[in-house]
Structure 1
């Protein structure tokens, strides 16, 4: 076994893998982490020298921009997923995220100016506003600013999985800030077991096993947030109303194996978070999820039947509702 940690995409990355020898393991891990670091620098939403920042400057001024193959893929996927989620997920709301102060490593406990927020909402920035012309993108909407923070980690998981398989690694666990994917099983034949953090305690709420190619993604209000006048505001911004209210505590989704399992696990948690427990099942079906778990504002847990069977509770909830499908 070989384990290495790093800090990428503004979060901790943990890579655990098995290989024939330490040198092979170290080489494979270093290559994956180097690629993640490259993508982080390229896709950083507010670093002035990133490609996303350059694209945002062009979009704001109404100028065309030629994206790299990686950025073009994210744009195409983002447009598709924006439609699939009924606009509950949108990488076009970077200006809204910045207005709330979350385009910074540290942020103040303050509300955005009401008039500025209203203007951004009135503009209704969406990736659907981007037009493609000869390999370039163009949008006549200054309020449209790209931020791939809601999909880049999961998208990178899929790339890392392919990279590890190409390097001959068939047993691994990759965790990018709570977005987790596994390859195969451990050498003794046992499955990988991972934990989901309790949104209000610094410990695991539960654990579950992951099968080869499955991906687990969690969105919650407990990592990037601030409190003001007794209310909590988090980095999860609802594209419909620009609200940063923490309406639920966390949502975890389990994506089925597939070439885009990581991407699905990252993106799908956001629409379910905004939809809440009553509407989550409808959205989960659109993403063909293997299961989902939601902790509502009162701390009650809502979970699908199939996923419940796989859970081992470390801190059982006071209220548990088995609901929805799958």
Structure 2
């Protein structure tokens, strides 16, 4: 998870924290009037709290839970504008990633136990896992009829945990700009976006955590509109029989066996920068160092960094030049583009 790196400041920022989408949210804002910053931050957090209740796949009274019941029974449903956007964006990004990212594998997430806030160190029931993998649930299985989604496979269950934080980051940015905030750093569960610069003219500086130590591995300056996201095997995981299993589940085979330690991606400024920073790290994680460059080009990333299972770091040339190392790796490979 990226970490906010300390740096000098020209004025006292307004800071507010919360806990949404099962993760920590940190807002750091600069404004001429403290009341303006407080109102803007409060509006963002209220929206995030509403979206959390609406999109929680495992809360029985959420919209996504109701959608999953409809999909399982083969019934069409009428989504809210937010859910419709997530479904359509999810279908687009699933296709772009060749299925290495899919919000349709909620049943696999539940089979591993990672749908709960606390989970046991246990493997899925073999028959259940094999059946879900054979069914290949994907958002591509949803067709639209008169604006209503209709599922084709009972195994298809929605879980937007791999994209909702980044999608919400884009909403938060638009909300702050509309409120007149032009200097801020937004962090939703390790997906970080910069608005403008700090009042002293310097860019925001953020860190990326070392996947095996609770400290920053490196830092980099984050420019206006850029978004940084990291997926790693150290956030939600358990160990069993000498092996580590994490919440990153490969849609191809249903495995959660942590083949890579972490992947960080840098998304260029744009309307969906936050969304891409959240989504793109997953297919790169499953593709591994040798295939990451091809997928990164599809997502038009500004750069990416991968820590493989042995702790070696793979990084793109442009991103390498922006890094300041706190814990330099023993093995560094500059590879691919961008």
**TM-score with structure 2 length normalisation?**
0.96
Of 274, 289, 299, which aligns to 1:287? 299
Of 124, 131, 134, which aligns to 1:119? 131
Of 58, 64, 77, which aligns to 2:70? 58
The question of 1:96 aligning with 2:108 is answered yes
> What are the within-5 Å matches in structure 2 for residues 203-218 of structure 1?
203-218=215-230
Partner of residue 224, structure 1: 236
Partner of residue 202, structure 1: 214
Partner of residue 10, structure 2: none
The question of 1:13 aligning with 2:48 is answered no
Report how far residue 63 of structure 1 moved: 1.3
- Runs of 5+ consecutive residues of structure 1 not aligned to the other structure: none
The question of 1:22 aligning with 2:53 is answered no
Partner of residue 259, structure 2: 247
- Runs of 5+ consecutive residues of structure 2 not aligned to the other structure: 1-12
Say which SS state the counterpart of residue 140 (structure 1) adopts. Answer: coil
The question of 1:158 aligning with 2:170 is answered yes
Report how far residue 140 of structure 1 moved: 2.8
Partner of residue 325, structure 1: 337
Partner of residue 273, structure 1: 285
Partner of residue 85, structure 2: 73
Partner of residue 188, structure 2: 176
Say which SS state the counterpart of residue 301 (structure 2) adopts. Answer: coil
Runs of 4+ in 1 over 2 A off after TM superposition: none
* C-alpha distance after superposition, 1:152-179 (max 9, x if no partner): 0000000100000000000000001110
Say which SS state the counterpart of residue 193 (structure 2) adopts. Answer: strand
Say which SS state the counterpart of residue 75 (structure 2) adopts. Answer: coil
Say which SS state the counterpart of residue 221 (structure 2) adopts. Answer: strand
* C-alpha distance after superposition, 1:281-309 (max 9, x if no partner): 00000001000000000111000000000
- Tell me how far apart the structure 2 counterparts of residues 177 and 75 of structure 1 sit (CA, whole Å): 21
Report how far residue 62 of structure 1 moved: 1.2
* C-alpha distance after superposition, 1:202-239 (max 9, x if no partner): 11111000110000010001011100001000000000
Report how far residue 131 of structure 1 moved: 1.1
Aligned length: 326
Of 14, 32, 37, which aligns to 2:44? 32
Say which SS state the counterpart of residue 290 (structure 1) adopts. Answer: strand
- Tell me how far apart the structure 2 counterparts of residues 112 and 234 of structure 1 sit (CA, whole Å): 13
- Tell me how far apart the structure 2 counterparts of residues 50 and 226 of structure 1 sit (CA, whole Å): 28
Report how far residue 43 of structure 1 moved: 0.6
- Tell me how far apart the structure 2 counterparts of residues 80 and 69 of structure 1 sit (CA, whole Å): 17
- Calculate the aligned-residue CA RMSD, in Å: 0.6
- Tell me how far apart the structure 2 counterparts of residues 68 and 204 of structure 1 sit (CA, whole Å): 39
**TM-score with structure 1 length normalisation?**
0.99
Report how far residue 93 of structure 1 moved: 0.3
Partner of residue 202, structure 2: 190
Report how far residue 317 of structure 1 moved: 0.7
Report how far residue 61 of structure 1 moved: 1.1
